[in-house]
Chain A
Amino acid sequence: MLRMEGVRKDHKHRGGIVRVLDNVDLEIDRGEYVSIVGQSGSGKSTLLLMLGGMLSPTRGRVIMGEDSLYDMSPKDRADLRKNELGFLFQTFNLVPYLTALENVQVPLLLRGVDGPDQARKAAGLLERVSLQDRVDHKPSELSVGQQQRVALARMLANDPPVILADEPTGNLDPETGAQILEFLEETNRQGRTVIMVTHDPVTADRASRKLRLHDGAVVPGERLP
């Protein structure tokens, strides 16, 4: 379903070139729960954003279904992100001046859902993450765990078949982190593909497959029990 073919990514840095990903070949099937681990700077986040259609490779192809992401127009790629992908970030990336409800409404707005349906669906999602009494709170009025749950609700708003999570528990205490992972596992059980970047081995071990990145290259994966 998601495939990388001979992907290389170079960054220019102070006149020189830094190779972030080097000849990566990767295939992730529909419904898989994959964790990507590696040291800081190993290229984990680069790989994730590239799978999300937000960073073009210097060489190689990234394929989703039948479509080569970076052969698509930016507009089509934006539509694909809107309809097929859900992102979960370490720092939540909630819009600071919008309420919890409005933050969850953003993907629905982008999809052209009308106002009342947006509000109804967003309220339902917040209830699902147990934040029904925080709908009118702005991110600054929520705890970090609550903020990540709002981000989780926002991610699910468009019912994406693929979820890309970048260190989703990195800023959370163990208990809240565990809650978030349970949510992710639940969405995986519902048939969604989950690809999660983490540097925490315990978190990584909860996935069904673990990929290790080392100096921009994928170390042969291990399938977890």
Chain B
Amino acid sequence: MRLNTIVRRELFERRTQVITSFLAVLLGIAVIVSVKTVSYYSEKAVSRELDALGANVLVLPKSISVQDYYSADMEGSEIPEEYVTRLVMSDLEGLDNLSPKLSVPVEIEGRSFTLTGILPKQEFQAKAMWQGAGIFSRPQGCGVVANIPGLSKPLSKETLVRERVIDDLGEFEALVGADVASLVGIESGEDLTLLGRSFSVIAVLPGTGTVDDSRVFAHLHTVQKLTGKGPVLNAIEVVGCCVEISQGLVEKINKLLPEAEVVTIGQIIETQINTNQMMRRLSGVFLLIIAVVGSVSIANYMFANVFERRREIGTLVALGARPSFVMNVFLLKAAVLGVVGGIGGYLLGTLLAVTLGPKLAGIPVLPIPSLAAWGVGISVAIAMAGSYLPARRASRIDPFDALQEV
């Protein structure tokens, strides 16, 4: 027989009394785990939505403001395309998508629009010197969502405006903004003459209500060649990780590209950081409430258990049990309650999150295995915290009083 035999037998013998406090721990952990699981995926989903809003860092020529950029008024101000290489080859952490652009004015059927040259994602990956730079291996926690079934959709060329990067774009292919398409009356599959060359319109982009609606997108190198400007850009749109941005990513890019103007689009970053903080605070508040309620519930049960077993404790003391042995009887019991409650709470919480998450939050939710260890740890901590004072009281029970009572 060991100490744990005593604990196990007592737990089974008085299981109806144990069940209430066990349920308190189990439900508490289940709530924490389900909230954390749902908020993790909510955070990711929000990040993904914000990510889709576009770049949060812009690298512009010195003389250009963000307002100029959005009004597409950047005529005559350029930065070398080599800046992209510098960014890709740097050891800066937190750079996600890069989208180099060159915008020039064009006339289509007597109307003025902007032709924007973009570099397809595939060309980044094709450049041997950029291989392994990891620019497209999107880091975790950076507005990045791993492949979640039902959430990730294959990119289409029509997603350009939202995603800012497309996989592939042919030399004389074009994407047309919604306003351009409606004003000029052009549709997907038709040809369009730009800068004296014929382009095949591969998609009409959905309306966004932004300046992008009056743009036509073509391959960056085609635009550079047709305008005779050479390897230059008007801007590099960067999707940077919010955490890194808050830790000085912009300053680091400024240092790397001193001849350029590096600006952030504050609202996007602020929204993402605020959302993340809100999610974390929400989980924190739940954790605090449940830790207090769980501990109080366990403490209440343990105090009652100590009172009920005072005669047994007196007997153990009479038989030579040290105070530490008596204390360990109760702390081990708390640990068992914590471990079992933690595992059960993780399973129940995950089940709740996976089944109710999609219905309540409208997002797909998957189990997070690492939360099991976290849940058990919290559960044991709650049980131990709630049991410490009762256990100490048990170890200090006066055997004379305990044995005198009948």
Contact = CB atoms under 8 A, between A and B. Distances in A.
Contact of B403 (A82, A89, A98, A119): A89
B317 A107 contact: no
A93 B403 CA distance: 8
Contact of B1 (A75, A85, A96, A115): A115
Nearest to B323: A74
Given A78-B323, A83-B320, A98 B9 contact: yes
B322 A75 contact: yes
A46 interface: yes
Given A46-B400, A55-B400, A102-B5, A110 B319 contact: yes
A111 B319 CA distance: 10
A89 B402 CA distance: 12
Interface residues of A, number: 36
Interface string B287-326: 0000000000000000000000001101111111111110
A154 to B, nearest CB: 8
A49 B13 CA distance: 30
A102 B399 contact: no
B406 interface: yes
Interface in A65-96: 74-75, 78-83, 85, 87, 89, 91, 93-96
Given A45-B404, A96-B13, A105-B1, A78 B6 contact: no
A118 interface: yes
Contact of A93 (B9, B14, B315): B315
A82 B320 contact: yes
Interface string B320-352: 111111000000000000000000000000000
A93 B314 contact: yes
B10 interface: yes
B19 interface: no
Contacts of A85: 320
B320 A79 contact: yes
Nearest to B312: A95
A54 interface: yes
B321 A97 contact: no
B313 to A, nearest CB: 10
A46 B398 CA distance: 13
A78 B324 CA distance: 11
A93 B12 CA distance: 20
Contact of B322 (A45, A54, A78, A119): A78
B9 A81 contact: no
Interface string B1-31: 1110110011011100000000000000000
Given A91-B406, A93-B311, A118-B1, A54 B316 contact: no
Contacts of B325: 110
A102 B1 contact: yes
Nearest to A49: B400
B9 A54 contact: no
Interface residues of B, number: 30
Most chain B beta-carbon contacts within 10 A, residue among A94, A97, A118: A97
A106 interface: yes
A18 interface: no
B interface majority secondary structure: helix
Contact of A110 (B13, B311, B320): B320
Contacts of A94: 315
A55 B316 CA distance: 15
Given A45-B404, A97-B9, A102-B5, A111 B320 contact: yes
Contact of A87 (B319, B323, B324): B319
Nearest to A118: B1
Given A93-B315, A95-B312, A102-B1, A49 B322 contact: no
B315 A95 contact: yes
A97 B319 CA distance: 17
Q: Could you say which of B312, B316, B403, B404 has the most chain A C-beta atoms within 10 Å of its C-beta?
A: B403
A97 B10 contact: yes
A121 to B, nearest CB: 12
A106 B318 contact: no
Contact of B319 (A49, A91, A98, A106): A106
Contacts of B14: 97
A68 B175 CA distance: 98
A109 B1 contact: yes
Interface string A111-124: 10001001100000
Given A78-B320, A83-B320, A109-B3, A97 B13 contact: yes
Interface string B365-406: 000000000000000000000000000000000111001101
A168 interface: no
A52 interface: yes
Contacts of A93: 311-312, 314-315, 318, 403
B399 A49 contact: yes
28 contacts: A46-B400, A54-B317, A54-B318, A54-B400, A55-B398, A74-B322, A78-B317, A78-B320, A78-B322, A78-B323, A80-B320, A81-B318, A82-B319, A87-B318, A93-B311, A93-B314, A93-B403, A94-B315, A95-B312, A96-B13, A97-B12, A97-B13, A98-B9, A102-B9, A106-B316, A106-B319, A111-B320, A119-B1
Interface of A: 45-46, 49, 52, 54-55, 74-75, 78-83, 85, 87, 89, 91, 93-98, 102, 105-107, 109-111, 115, 118-119, 154, 158
| Top-8 shortest CB links A-B | A82-B320, A97-B13, A93-B315, A55-B400, A81-B320, A78-B322, A54-B399, A105-B1
